[in-house]
Amino acid sequence: MKNKVLILILSFIQFGFAQNVKLKTGDILFQSMNCGPLCEAINEVTAGYQGKDFSHLGMVYIKNDSVFVIEASGKEVKITPYDTFKTYTTDEMFVGRLKRKYRKYIPEAVSFSLQQVGVPYDDEYLYNNGKYYCSELIYDAFLHSYQKPLFDLFPMTFKSPKSNEYFEVWVDYYEKLKMEIPEGQLGCNPGGISTSNKLKIIGTLR
């Protein structure tokens, strides 16, 4: 009997945290997207919450009791059903929620993001070029609502920390785009946003 009680307690500790998360509009979902070598390269040079690998994020948008995620993915900025968004990964997703003092900026950030639906995906990964990649959209949404940067931009790197050489996948990627690798230019990434002191990771979801 004692063993059964112990198992129940351990199960609650392990799984209760995730099951108790109730998503709200403005929550940010962090995930390790299944996109092969490109995501692996992103993960190797970015550090997320508690050392986790995050290659994608999106902002929760609840409408008429249905849960959606506003994201920049594929060809454009779009509104994706939550049940579709969670299939991008086989790992658990981490839920970030802005700290209370910043939550009043969520409605305007959501409104801004909705206005960007249809804007092309930023496959060049260049800030402020009229297109959006996933974390860039969230950065600009809160820049717009907060009237100053809520999150941070950092110099981007496309080099392996092990060899200090460009990842081959990035060399091939930018050769196809016929442009130089934007090494050192300012940008943002899901891992960096997940470690921001402006939000708190409140749990995980599968």
The CA distance from 116 to 191, in Å, is 23
The CA distance from 33 to 39, in Å, is 7
Q: Which two tokens stand for residue 15?
A: 């799984």
The CA distance from 25 to 59, in Å, is 8
- Residue 74's pLDDT is 93
Q: Which stretch of DSSP H or E encloses residue 201?
A: strand 199-205
Q: Which two tokens stand for residue 184?
A: 């050192």
Whether 199 shows a pLDDT value over 90: the answer reads yes
Residues of the chain with pLDDT > 90: what percent? 78
Q: May I ask the CATH architecture of the domain 22-205?
A: Alpha-Beta Complex (3.90)
Give the phi and the psi of residue 5 in degrees, each rounded to 5. -65, -40
- The amino acid occupying position 63 is K
Q: Is 27 in contact with 71 (CB distance < 8 Å)?
A: no
The CA distance from 27 to 82, in Å, is 12
Whether 184 shows a pLDDT value over 90: the answer reads yes
The CA distance from 54 to 102, in Å, is 23
User: Which SS3 state, helix, strand or coil, does residue 68 take?
Assistant: strand
Q: Is 94 in contact with 54 (CB distance < 8 Å)?
A: yes
Binning the chain into helix, strand and coil, the percentages to the nearest 5 are: 40, 25, 35
The CA distance from 162 to 86, in Å, is 32
Residue whose pair of structure tokens reads 């460009």 in the numeric block: 166
pLDDT digits (tens, 9 = 90+) for 48-101: 999 898 999 999 999 999 999 999 999 999 999 999 999 999 889 999 999 999
Residue spans of the domains in the chain: they are 22-205
Question: Average pLDDT over the chain, rounded to whole?
Answer: 89
- What number is the average pLDDT over the span 141-159? 96
The CA distance from 187 to 126, in Å, is 7
